[in-house]
Chains A and B, each alone.
Chain A
Amino acid sequence: MTGNSQKKRQSASFDTGRRLRPYTWLLRHLQVALASLGRFTRSPLSSLMTAAVIAIALTLPTGLHLLLNNLQLLSDSWDGATSISIFIRQEVEPQRLGQLVSRLHTKPGIDGVRLITKEQALEEFQQLSGFSGALEALEENPLPPVVVVTSRLETPEQAQALLAELEQLKETDFAQLDMQWVRRFQAITDIAQRAILVLASLLGAAVLLVVVNTIRLEIQNRHAEIEITKQIGGTDAFIRRPFLYMGVWYGLFGGVIAWLLVLLSLRLLEAPVAHLAGLYQSGFSLIGMDTPTLLVLIGGSTLLGLVGSWIAVGRHLAGIEPD
Chain B
Amino acid sequence: MIHFDNVTKRYPGGHTGLSNASFHIGQGEMVFLTGHSGAGKSTLLKLIGLLERSTGGQVRVAGRNLTRMKQRQIPYHRREVGMIFQDHRLLNDRTVFDNVAMPLIVAGLGHTEIGRRVRAALDKVGLLNREKAYPITLSGGEQQRVGIARAVVSKPPVVLADEPTGNLDPDLSREIMHLFEQFNQVGVTLIIASHDLELIRPMQRRILTLNQGRLESDDR
The CA of A230 and the CA of B106, in the complex, are separated in Å by 9
* B68 on interface, CB distance cutoff 8 Å: no
Q: Report if A234-B51 is in contact (Cβ < 8 Å); known contacts: A228-B89, A228-B91.
A: no
Mask: chain B, 24-49; 1 = CB below 8 Å from A; 0 = not: 00011000000000000000001001
Residues of chain B contacted by A3 (CB below 8 angstroms): 27-28, 187
Interface contact A235-B186, CB-CB below 8 Å: no
Determine the residue in chain A with the shortest Cβ distance to B62: A10
CB neighbors of B among A220-253 (8 A): 224-225, 227-236, 238
The CA of A322 and the CA of B186, in the complex, are separated in Å by 29
Determine the residue in chain A with the shortest Cβ distance to B42: A323
Residues of chain A contacted by B155 (CB below 8 angstroms): 1, 9
Interface contact B186-A232, CB-CB below 8 Å: no
Of listed B27, B46, B64, B78, residue having the most chain A CB within 10 A:
B78
* B126 on interface, CB distance cutoff 8 Å: no
Q: How many residues does chain A have at the interface if contact means C-beta atoms less than 8 Å apart?
A: 29
Interface contact B106-A238, CB-CB below 8 Å: yes
Interface contact A230-B75, CB-CB below 8 Å: yes
* A137 on interface, CB distance cutoff 8 Å: no
Q: Closest CB-CB distance, A44 to chain B, in whole Å?
A: 18
Interface contact A233-B108, CB-CB below 8 Å: no
Interface contact B89-A6, CB-CB below 8 Å: no
* B83 on interface, CB distance cutoff 8 Å: yes
Interface contact B75-A10, CB-CB below 8 Å: no
Interface contact B102-A232, CB-CB below 8 Å: yes
* A267 on interface, CB distance cutoff 8 Å: no
The CA of A225 and the CA of B91, in the complex, are separated in Å by 7
The one of B64, B72, B73, B103 that contacts A232, using a Cβ cutoff of 8 Å? B103
* B80 on interface, CB distance cutoff 8 Å: yes
Chain A contact residues: over half helix, strand or loop, or mixed? helix
Residues of chain A contacted by B64 (CB below 8 angstroms): 14
11 other contacts beyond A10-B80, A233-B78, with CB at 8 A cut-off? Answer: A3-B28, A20-B108, A224-B91, A225-B91, A229-B106, A231-B78, A232-B78, A233-B75, A233-B76, A233-B107, A323-B46
* A24 on interface, CB distance cutoff 8 Å: yes
Q: Closest CB-CB distance, A32 to chain B, in whole Å?
A: 10
Mask: chain A, 287-308; 1 = CB below 8 Å from B; 0 = not: 0000000000000000000000
Determine the residue in chain B with the shortest Cβ distance to A2: B187
* B157 on interface, CB distance cutoff 8 Å: yes
The one of A2, A10, A229 that contacts B102, using a Cβ cutoff of 8 Å? A229
* B145 on interface, CB distance cutoff 8 Å: no
* A136 on interface, CB distance cutoff 8 Å: no
Interface contact A232-B76, CB-CB below 8 Å: no
Q: Closest CB-CB distance, A292 to chain B, in whole Å?
A: 39
Residues of chain A contacted by B79 (CB below 8 angstroms): 13-14, 232-233
Residues of chain B contacted by A238 (CB below 8 angstroms): 75, 106
Interface contact B187-A1, CB-CB below 8 Å: yes
The CA of A238 and the CA of B79, in the complex, are separated in Å by 14
Interface contact A231-B80, CB-CB below 8 Å: no
